[in-house]
Amino acid sequence: MQTDSSFTFVLFGGTGDLSMRKILPALFEAHRAGGMLADSGKIVAVARHATNRGEYIQWVNEHVKPHVSKNGVDETAWASFLERIEFVNIDLGKAEDFVHLRDAIQDLPGIRVFYLATGPSLFVPICHALASVGLNENSRIVLEKPLGYDLKSSNAINDAVGEIFAEEQIYRIDHYLGKEPVQNLLALRFGNALFEPLWRREWVESIQITIAEELGVEARGDFYDNTGALRDMVQNHLLQLLSIVAMEPPHSMDSDSVRDEKLRVLRALKPIDPRDIGKVAVRGQYHSGVIRGTSVPAYATEPGVKHESATETFVALKVEIENWRWAGVPFFLRTGKRLADRVAEIVVNFRAVPHSALGASALRAGANRLVIRLQPNETIRLYCLAKQPGEGMNLASVHLDLAFDQFFREGQMEAYQRLLLDVINGRLALFVRRDEQEAAWRWVEPILNEWKASNKPPKPYASGTWGPAASSAMLAQHGTYWLEEEN
């Protein structure tokens, strides 16, 4: 991915956790690789927790450097990366301070990218302040989630930002869309004739999408207790992954062609009747338990969490898509904190053979499945049955492993690195369009409203397990189970 595109990358929240762990390390990896970032490109950090460039560079050395390059830091590349970095100290709450930002970047070359790695309450004030000094013209703006608390607040932010930036200037980031296996899912589906005939209701029994975390809310109790798993993970990450799995083939990979097909899936999601939410939606909250030999506390005792909080830390859903390709195929979505393992994966369970002359094992659920693992190790595996060596016709599960690191010499690109390069180069396909976001909120809101109205507490589950038993019972009603033994 070579580029000659010059750029000025302005990073709001330059001393925040996201900048420290993801954004600056991703920009360094692109810089270190050579040719991905134009030599003239500049990074301008905006923050209040440093007073000058020297202090900020010291902060970068102390806090960012430990997060870059798993195999050690190339000191020469690191030194040249630091030369790209400039610093501006302004108060984001004071529009008049943005004159200093304008003066600092007005002579810097290339397209201007404004990355808002801040809380969503600052999105609109920052955009208005940028417009007040003319910095919204010929620029791009990147918005991190969460973009709103519900459909109304999301529309309010989008309306306000949309008055200042055109839709083609707005990059709503979802880092799961930048992961290598998600890109390979598109290649697998649309670059090969092998899977397309099978990718439909006649041959697919069910699909699972899981994003599980071992961590709790950590130091984010105040934020998380007002958000919950449905808003934090389902409305964006999980529904975006679902739309990519289920979308029709686009006529090309340009940004609107891809996003048009994703939107059709989101609009085809079967609305959930409030009377049925108890059957198709499970919410839970972690209690104390043990993870990898260490005792961990209950959610209710985490710092920043309200006493007797009813916020969910786990969600499992049964989703249906009302179109010809997927009618009748259940999509099971699951996400949670303090679960038994850290894993993100998509599991496509194919239907069993209609009649088996080889015994009952050929008829069991999940005999044929495709597993796309997004984290921690990114792989794609196709599971099927084969004869065990020896007498008789005894079948056992085997798999074909698409080991990309063995086929390709170059290392896999991290999600943020790919997405930041796409912003710099003006590629919108992997970013969420406003109408996609609205469709996702419309589908999610009835669940949120019913949970709020019911006053029923989330189901408890012990930390270090796979969530409430009701989650497994929901799949058992459809003759299937969560894929956990492979994790």
Of 31, 63, 100, 237, the catalytic one is 237
Gyration radius of the chain's alpha carbons = 24
Cα–Cα distances in Å, from 409 out to 403, 404, 406, 414, 455?
A: 12, 9, 7, 15, 54
**128 belongs to the catalytic site:** no
Residues with catalytic function? 237
